């Protein structure tokens, strides 16, 4: 997700970090570079300008905190402003009414039908009893696609393709008498830039939706703004941004919320039903800035059933190198390793194989330590490092790097526990 944006921003901050003290000229130069990177990632020029304007004002106005380097502080400000440009806080579906009516609208090919299945799956996992409705009078095949998807997921599907204005209200009235509590309505796509199907405003008068989500393909970048504007008259409540697993450049995620004045509720990260993530602006900013996404990571671990261990690590005061190894091991078994490790700080784009080798190396290093060293890493001085490097067939630099990563993970976990990492809410409190 946004690899090239992340890599390029990391380079800018790397250069700034190398400078130690920052002069006004350094900050200006840094902001100019960030602007270039954002525009290169197809962020709307106005959004980039406003974002950096606010960063500049704060970078000049705010007092320096002694414990942070100037580059770190600039990074923190960029992170906060980037978060706020994407909407500050995570927003949820309203799901009001019974059944709550969630409608998906958007240009053809954006991912509406796929997202209907994903949202149904998502809600089903959270104790709801969703069902889907297809309403495409023009294209019967569209209804079949939804039907097939629903069948696979074991979710009821009702066609309303013949006459949506008559059928949808009927279906909803029927559902009222059943246990089904969320209706997800899939609607016909229109060619990009064209107005939405004309029956929708009439339908919404008959059965007012609880949530009307505009589904847009992130790969089209800031062009999605223009596509989305055509749907605003429908009274939208939020956005779903799909295909963030592809090589989306970041333009859509950073530009849409402020340009369309709508929150992103979910992002699509693949074609499978489970490839849907609730959108959290703070977390997304962390990912874009390569700050890792430990709370997202913890959630993935939880889904993969390895949460007990992660939870223990997060709850306990002590976080030893043994725990660190355990955490790495857990991550390794939790799914595509590269994808998960990409969420750890400072690991923007690992290749799967590289990650595997790196993991083996880290494991060897930790295993070459004495139990005492693993529990009290601060006792590891130069001669112990040499011994450990020899024992694990690595170098002292490798040992240093592992210790640095361990320290970083420890700091992050501590921060998470105290809720100190901005936006990084404690992942197991729900």
Torsion-angle region of residue 261: left (phi > 0), alpha (psi -120 to 50) or beta?
left
Shortest Å distance, C-beta 189 to ligand GDP: 4
- Report which of 300, 102, 304 is spatially closest to residue 210, judged by C-alpha positions: 102
By C-beta, is 2 or 359 nearer to ligand GDP? Answer: 2
Shortest Å distance, C-beta 319 to Mg ion: 47
Shortest Å distance, C-beta 347 to ligand GDP: 22
135 binds, among ligand GDP, Mg ion, none (CB under 5 to 8 A by kind): none
Interacting residues toward ligand GDP by CB under 6 A = 106, 108-114, 189, 215, 242-243, 245-246, 268-271, 275
By C-beta, is 97 or 192 nearer to ligand GDP? Answer: 192
By C-beta, is 276 or 421 nearer to Mg ion? Answer: 276
Shortest Å distance, C-beta 201 to ligand GDP: 19
Q: What string marks each residue from 95 to 134 as x (binds Mg ion by CB under 5 A) or -?
A: -----------------xx---------------------
> Cα-flanking dihedrals φ and ψ of residue 94, to 5°?
-75, -40
Shortest Å distance, C-beta 228 to ligand GDP: 13
Shortest Å distance, C-beta 125 to ligand GDP: 17
By C-beta, is 110 or 290 nearer to ligand GDP? Answer: 110
287 binds, among ligand GDP, Mg ion, none (CB under 5 to 8 A by kind): none
320 binds, among ligand GDP, Mg ion, none (CB under 5 to 8 A by kind): none
114 binds, among Mg ion, ligand GDP, none (CB under 5 to 8 A by kind): ligand GDP
By C-beta, is 112 or 385 nearer to Mg ion? Answer: 112
By C-beta, is 113 or 242 nearer to Mg ion? Answer: 113
Q: 350 Cβ partners below 8 Å, 6+ apart?
A: 338, 341, 342, 358
**Tokens 């590891």 map to which residue?**
380
- Contact by Cβ (8 Å): 276, 121: yes
Burial of 393 (0-12, 13-18, 19+ CB in 10 A): exposed
269 binds, among ligand GDP, Mg ion, none (CB under 5 to 8 A by kind): ligand GDP
- Contact by Cβ (8 Å): 28, 22: no
Helix runs in 134-222, H state only? 140-153, 164-176, 199-206
Shortest Å distance, C-beta 215 to ligand GDP: 6
For the record, the structure tokens of 30 come out as 């840094």
The terminus-to-terminus CA distance of the chain in angstroms comes to: 26
Burial of 165 (0-12, 13-18, 19+ CB in 10 A): middle
**Gap between the Cα atoms of 226 and 209, Å rounded:** 24
**Gap between the Cα atoms of 255 and 260, Å rounded:** 8
Rule CB under 5 A: which of 132-151 touch Mg ion?
142
Residue nearest to ligand GDP (CB): 268
Name the site residues for Mg ion (rule: CB under 5 A): 112-113, 142
């Amino acid at each position: 997700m946004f690899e090239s944006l992340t890599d390029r921003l990391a380079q800018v901050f790397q250069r700034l970090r190398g400078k130690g003290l920052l002069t006004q000229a350094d900050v200006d130069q840094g902001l100019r570079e960030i602007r270039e990177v954002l525009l290169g990632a197809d962020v709307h020029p106005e959004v980039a300008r406003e974002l950096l304007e606010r960063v500049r004002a704060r970078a000049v106005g705010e007092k320096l905190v002694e414990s942070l380097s100037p580059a770190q502080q600039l990074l923190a400000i960029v992170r906060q402003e980037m978060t706020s440009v994407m909407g500050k806080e995570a927003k949820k579906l309203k799901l009001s009414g019974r059944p709550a009516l969630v409608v998906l609208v958007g240009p053809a090919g954006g991912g509406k039908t796929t997202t209907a299945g994903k949202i149904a799956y998502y809600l089903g996992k959270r104790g709801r009893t969703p069902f889907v409705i297809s309403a495409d009078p023009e294209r019967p095949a569209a209804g079949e696609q939804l039907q097939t998807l629903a069948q696979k997921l074991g979710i009821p599907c009702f066609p309303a393709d013949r006459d949506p204005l008559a059928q949808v209200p009927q279906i909803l009235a029927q559902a009222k008498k059943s246990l089904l509590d969320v209706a997800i309505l899939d609607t016909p796509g229109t060619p990009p830039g064209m107005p939405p199907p004309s029956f929708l405003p009439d339908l919404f008068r008959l059965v007012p939706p609880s949530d009307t989500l505009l589904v847009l393909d992130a790969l089209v970048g800031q062009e999605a703004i223009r596509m989305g504007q055509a749907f605003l008259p429908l009274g939208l409540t939020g956005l779903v941004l799909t295909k963030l697993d592809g090589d989306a450049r970041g333009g859509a995620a950073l530009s849409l919320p402020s340009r369309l004045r709508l929150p992103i509720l979910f992002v699509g990260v693949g074609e499978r039903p489970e490839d849907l993530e609730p959108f959290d602006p703070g977390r997304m900013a962390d990912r874009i800035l390569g700050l890792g996404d430990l709370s997202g990571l913890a959630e993935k671990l939880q889904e993969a059933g390895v949460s007990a261990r992660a939870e223990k690590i997060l709850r306990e005061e002590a976080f030893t190198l043994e725990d660190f190894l355990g955490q790495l091991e857990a991550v390794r078994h939790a799914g595509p390793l590269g994808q998960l490790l990409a969420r750890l700080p400072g690991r923007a784009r690992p290749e799967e194989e590289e990650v595997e080798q790196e993991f083996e190396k880290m494991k060897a290093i930790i295993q070459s330590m004495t139990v005492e060293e693993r529990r009290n890493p601060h006792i590891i001085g130069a001669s112990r490092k040499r011994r450990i490097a020899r024992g694990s067939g690595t170098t002292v630099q490798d040992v240093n790097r592992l210790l640095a990563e361990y320290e970083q993970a420890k700091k992050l976990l501590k921060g998470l526990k105290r809720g100190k990492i901005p936006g990084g809410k404690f992942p197991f409190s729900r």
